[in-house]
Structure 1
Amino acid sequence: MRIVSLILAIAVGAGLYFWVIEREQTLAFLAGDTEAPETETARTGAQTDGTDASQDAAPASDTSDLIKVVARKSIAREIDNAVVLRGQTEAARQVEVRAETSSTVISPPLRKGAFVEAGQLMCQLDPGTRASALTEARARLAEAIASKTEAESRVPEAESRVIEAQARIDEAQVNQNAARRLSEGGFAAETRVKNAEASLAAAEASLEGAKASVIAARAGLQSADATIESAAASIATAEKEMERLDIRAPFAGILESDTAELGTLLQPGSLCATVIQLNPIKLVAFAPETEVARVEVGAMAGARLAADDNEVRGRVTFLSRAADETTRTFRVEIEVPNDDLRIRDGQTAEIAISAAGAKAHLLPASALTLNENGVLGLRVVDDAGVVAFAPARVVRDTAQGIWLTDLPEEINVIVVGQEFVTAGVTVAPTFQEQTQ
């Protein structure tokens, strides 16, 4: 077994040597140049006999040593460049209209497929005791307004008491001063002075009570204002609750589902109906990183729908600035008119977005190859038969072939045998007819 493994290793090493180190000679041998030694021997024999080969025979002997390839002369042509993407149609808007309060449905249902206008009633709920709650809130507001009027009248009354108490203090101070002077002159008893001081203290107490009454009156006024605001808030809540009983369409569109059935109990968040807007409709696709730079907002775009081959036209209205984290693609939206509502949501579409024109070569896809660095391109040959590698970029794939750019205006492309030659090798090309 070791001898067999050793023989296999030697054979593989020899094969790699001839394929990597002696590749050109090996390819030439495989291409049919095994007759070269016989030609050389015949030529040597002819020279020994003293007969010179003709000038026409010498070039034929040289070209027979070269690799035979088939080439095609290609001239670049101007094409309407476009970014071709696959996507789908999507409704401009789609909303699930849900209940905001709890009650039973008292309106007959609308069937799916029906067209509804913006603001049209879809589900009407039973008001229950909500009307009574609204009436009670309004009564509380009227009571709060009356209370405020009463509180406002108490403020001036309390302020007048303060003024009256201040006047009494002034009078008591005058009496006190008079009693003290008379007492000092011996014209009044000491009890009179004490009575005057007591009257002054009583007047000061009355002033403090009057001031407290003013504060209480003003506090009552503030309380009345708060009661009014609370009553107004209760009215707004009750009115809003009444508005929630009528569930209406947020925009004109088509019902994608039946509205809630008569007698159904809807809780907050329960579905009334689903409404979609199809005019205009959007075409949504995702552009790869290599193509997104060629897409511009406002560019014209056309699409062919897979269902009925219907062709539509529109403009690019949105181009995402952030790539999808999973696919590394960018969302593109195209707005298309849909007056007859013939285009449905979710149809597959082949989209072509117009871009700047460019010159390109139409060649068979089989002509493409890769160089040693993995770069996609073509192997071309010049007038001297020397092979070179030309990088290329695919801009469009059609049934007739592929359109390639980033190439010279005129090139000789090797279409058969390009995989058996490398850059710098001299070949013997045979050119195809232009009609091929």
Structure 2
Amino acid sequence: MTRTLRIAGLALALAAASACGDGEKPAESGGKPVVTTPVKLTDLEERIEATGELRAQDHAAVAAEVPGQVTEVAVDEGRFVEAGGIVLAIDPQKRELELSTARARLAEAAAALEDAEREFRRMKRLREQDVAAEAKVDQVETQLALARSRHAAAQAQLGVAERALQDASVRAPFAGWVARRHVSRGEFVQVGQALFDLVALDPIEAEFHVAERDSARIALGQEVRVTVEPHPGEAFAGKVATISPTIDPATRTLRVEAHVPNSDGRLRPGLFARVDLGVALRKNVLMVPEEAVLQRADGQVVFRAGAENRVQRVVVRTGAHRDGLVEVASGLAPGDVVVTRGQAGLIDGALVSPRNPDGTLSRTDVSAAGASEVREGSAFP
């Protein structure tokens, strides 16, 4: 029995010596077992998507420009009106009477002016014959100047009356829909009082924001597809019409507006909209497994394997997610190796025992050139 034990012990010693002679050293004793994975550089195909809101391209609160009683409502709420179409009237009959009065006063002023001119010419001839005094001529000339002034005032008053008659018929400043009417027939309104709200719905605007990293991929005229909850499964085509010249410093996003045809009026202002701007291809995107990224008080962090099996705590900024991987926009570099399992409780500079994803021991050799892995055949506990 004793002989058998000695032979078994000798065999174990020889096996250990053979393993050391191969030049491969196991991970440093005492380190916490962790699984490490090198970062990946991949070409990322992603859709540029955003959320926003539908808005009326034109929206006007039309107010009264003349005082008076509302005598007619030609277009009610929810109805379409062409540009220049009459929506309601504010006592146009009264304005017509005022216009007739202004015309009569102008005719009276024109007759007085003609009489003053005739009298001035007569006086001037008499003065040339030394029949009339110079003072009389001056008096008649002053009367002529007054007549001309009254005539000009009458002309201006006629223009005001014509404009008042025009404003008595309240017209739509653009083609659109009466969204809301604020007054009723028979109500007396003052100048500046809101009468109705008018909105233009064709085309309708989709306002949305895209992330800063996608801002360079947006161009005027770019085609977009808009979806809204009331019409599931249906996408409405549109084109980018406006791009803000600045990035919002608070949200790090770019404001964009797209025009979407809406001749049937099915798209309404205020609807929540999802906007698809198509597919974009980004080359050599740095990505790591999602489980490598931890959320901490100071942001998102990963543990990077360093020299002598020590880890470094690195704050990163992430981006797109695809197939269990997440983009690392900053904080890591090609060739880095990160901890994907066992990082709970790790701190900066902690000693670890690197393992492969299948649980076998691995020696991580991190240098400026990159990282390499050597399998050693020990199972991950």
Tell me which interval the TM-score lies in, with the shorter structure as reference length.
0.7 to 0.9
CA apart distance, 1:423:
5.0
Q: Is the 8 A contact 1:122 1:259 kept in 2?
A: no
- After superposition, the Cα gap between the structure-2 partners of 1:150 and 1:112, relative to the gap in structure 1 and judged at 3 Å, is closer
Match status 1:415 vs 2:340: yes
Show the 5 A alignment for 1:101-120: 101-108=66-73, 110-120=75-85
Cα deviation digits, residues 71-104 of structure 1 (max 9, x gap):
2344222235676543211111122223222333
CA RMSD of aligned residues (A): 4.0
Of 378-387 and 227-236, deviating more is: 378-387
CA–CA separation in structure 2 for the residues paired with 1:316 and 1:402? 32
> What is the aligned partner in structure 2 of residue 380 from structure 1?
304
Candidates 99, 103, 125, aligned match of 2:64: 99
> What is the aligned partner in structure 1 of residue 377 from structure 2?
none
> What is the aligned partner in structure 1 of residue 162 from structure 2?
239
- After superposition, the Cα gap between the structure-2 partners of 1:53 and 1:82, relative to the gap in structure 1 and judged at 3 Å, is closer
CA–CA separation in structure 2 for the residues paired with 1:411 and 1:155? 104
Q: Is the 8 A contact 2:40 2:288 kept in 1?
A: no
CA apart distance, 1:277:
1.1
Q: Is the 8 A contact 2:57 2:203 kept in 1?
A: yes
CA apart distance, 1:317:
0.3
CA–CA separation in structure 2 for the residues paired with 1:92 and 1:152? 57
> What is the aligned partner in structure 2 of residue 127 from structure 1?
92
- After superposition, the Cα gap between the structure-2 partners of 1:333 and 1:141, relative to the gap in structure 1 and judged at 3 Å, is same
CA–CA separation in structure 2 for the residues paired with 1:390 and 1:338? 50
Candidates 292, 306, 327, aligned match of 1:403: 327
> What is the aligned partner in structure 2 of residue 347 from structure 1?
271
Q: Is the 8 A contact 2:75 2:86 kept in 1?
A: no
Q: Is the 8 A contact 2:44 2:281 kept in 1?
A: no
Q: Is the 8 A contact 1:69 1:417 kept in 2?
A: yes
Candidates 207, 216, 223, aligned match of 1:284: 207
CA apart distance, 1:280:
1.5
Q: Which amino acid aligns with 2:342?
A: G
Secondary structure (helix, strand or coil) at the match of 2:92 reads coil
Cα deviation digits, residues 277-320 of structure 1 (max 9, x gap):
112222223567x6696575625555443454444443150416
- After superposition, the Cα gap between the structure-2 partners of 1:225 and 1:295, relative to the gap in structure 1 and judged at 3 Å, is farther
> What is the aligned partner in structure 2 of residue 55 from structure 1?
18
5+ residue gaps, structure 2, are 1-8, 360-381
Candidates 268, 271, 288, aligned match of 2:191: 268
Cα deviation digits, residues 359-397 of structure 1 (max 9, x gap):
3245444422489x9474533337985645666432324
Give the TM-score normalised by the residue count of structure 2: 0.72
CA–CA separation in structure 2 for the residues paired with 1:321 and 1:63? 53
Of 127-136 and 397-406, deviating more is: 397-406
5+ residue gaps, structure 1, are 1-45, 166-205
- After superposition, the Cα gap between the structure-2 partners of 1:236 and 1:432, relative to the gap in structure 1 and judged at 3 Å, is farther
Q: Which amino acid aligns with 2:284?
A: K
Q: Is the 8 A contact 1:109 1:260 kept in 2?
A: no
Match status 1:429 vs 2:355: yes
Candidates 76, 99, 120, aligned match of 1:155: 120
CA–CA separation in structure 2 for the residues paired with 1:360 and 1:292? 14
CA–CA separation in structure 2 for the residues paired with 1:93 and 1:282? 9
Candidates 257, 274, 290, aligned match of 1:333: 257
Show the 5 A alignment for 1:216-235: 216-235=139-158
CA apart distance, 1:227:
1.0
CA apart distance, 1:275:
1.6
Q: Is the 8 A contact 1:301 1:314 kept in 2?
A: yes
Name the larger-Rg structure.
1
Q: Is the 8 A contact 1:110 1:259 kept in 2?
A: no
CA–CA separation in structure 1 for the residues paired with 2:289 and 2:226? 26
CA–CA separation in structure 2 for the residues paired with 1:278 and 1:81? 32
Q: Which amino acid aligns with 1:140?
A: R
Q: Is the 8 A contact 1:296 1:319 kept in 2?
A: no
> What is the aligned partner in structure 1 of residue 318 from structure 2?
394
CA–CA separation in structure 2 for the residues paired with 1:55 and 1:87? 67
Q: Is the 8 A contact 2:240 2:256 kept in 1?
A: no
Q: Is the 8 A contact 2:227 2:275 kept in 1?
A: yes
Percent of pairs identical after alignment?
22
Q: Is the 8 A contact 1:115 1:253 kept in 2?
A: yes
> What is the aligned partner in structure 2 of residue 89 from structure 1?
54
Q: Which amino acid aligns with 2:340?
A: V
Match status 1:139 vs 2:104: yes
Q: Is the 8 A contact 1:110 1:258 kept in 2?
A: no
Q: Which amino acid aligns with 1:88?
A: E
Q: Is the 8 A contact 2:312 2:349 kept in 1?
A: yes
CA–CA separation in structure 2 for the residues paired with 1:237 and 1:426? 90
Q: Which has the higher helix share?
A: 1
CA–CA separation in structure 2 for the residues paired with 1:283 and 1:304? 10
Q: Is the 8 A contact 2:33 2:352 kept in 1?
A: no
CA–CA separation in structure 2 for the residues paired with 1:100 and 1:301? 41
Q: Which has the higher strand share?
A: 2
CA–CA separation in structure 2 for the residues paired with 1:304 and 1:296? 19
Candidates 233, 249, 261, aligned match of 2:172: 249
Q: Is the 8 A contact 2:28 2:309 kept in 1?
A: no
CA–CA separation in structure 1 for the residues paired with 2:163 and 2:108? 22
CA–CA separation in structure 2 for the residues paired with 1:87 and 1:287? 10
Secondary structure (helix, strand or coil) at the match of 1:140 reads helix
